Amino acid sequence: MPRPFRIATANINGIRAAHRRGFDDWLATRGCDVVTLQEVRCPVDALPEGAFGDFHAAYDAGELAGRNGVAVLTRQPPAAVRTWSVTDPDRPLPRALRTHATEGRYVEVDLADVPLTVASLYLPKGGLPAHLQDPRRMREAPDGGAKHARKMKFMAGFARHLAASRKAAAAQGREFLLTGDLNIAHTRHDVANWRRSNQVEGFLPEERAWLDAQLSPRTLVDVVRRLNPDVDGPYSWWSWLGRAYEKDAGWRIDYHLATPRLARAAQVAVVDREHLGVRLSDHAPVVVDYDLDALA
């Protein structure tokens, strides 16, 4: 039986911290063909030795010190790499995304050995709209809804960019896979305490409606949910506070969103809650095995 093609996505919340927790061993032993990362949080010249193991890394660190940074790691050098920090005359960034171009939020590669384009996205966390902000319940000072408005503007622009990327891949005979930390839980099955979260950033009605609009049987399919219908989770993020992790009171905000044919080729999806008994981050890698022979 042929070996499945294994793709993982992980928000590692700082590659140096993740290495101290065993990320290098996870990367070397998990058997992945492609790994996408978010919140690498490290300038290129400060990366730890062997930061990405034996993989070829398409990495956009961005220009915000200690923040963001996305990568796609591949076994073979990719056929093409696209980031927002390098202008692509054939696919200009929507106006709403231009202020984010140097933030290290998106990288996309065409695989050399498989007709597949894989992207890694770190979508802004955002905040609450002004009418939901209550200083008594907030850790940060109210901002009048500025972070929420910024996130919604980002999502409006990214919807156009995502459609263009998916169509460009199709024009080249490639499937398309968007992975990463979207900072949105889609349905009540994606948040452990969903009743309390209806007025929390990441589970607001307008955020969930946006994600609804990106998914359909003809455009992009939520692979993990397709393989795990009508169940709670599997969650991929837990707060460090309290006993959220022990109680599995998490959120599912890390995704594989695939074109329909690729989604149908997905066989197994798992969340690596820990590696050798240690959490790699406040997020956990989401690993999916694809039967690419089914695409032939």
Report pLDDT digits (tens) over 21-49: 999 999 999 999 999 999 999 999 999 99
pLDDT at 1: 62
Beta strands in 152-251 (DSSP E): 175-181, 221-222
Percent of the chain with pLDDT over 70: 99
Q: Where do we find the tokens 């106006």? A: 95
Percent of the chain with pLDDT over 90: 86
Closest CA to 7 of 190, 254, 198: 254
More confident residue, 263 or 145: 263
Handedness of CA 279, 272, 80, 159 (dihedral sign): negative
pLDDT digits (tens, 9 = 90+) for 147-199: 999 999 999 999 999 999 999 999 999 999 999 999 999 999 999 988 888 88
Which residue ranges form the domains of the chain, and what is each CATH number?
Answer: 5-295 (3.60.10.10)
What's the mean pLDDT when you consider all of the chain? 95
- Asked whether the whole model's pTM tops 0.85, one would answer yes
Highest mean pLDDT among 100-114, 131-145, 192-206: 100-114
Rounded distance, CA 282 to CA 286, Å?
A: 13
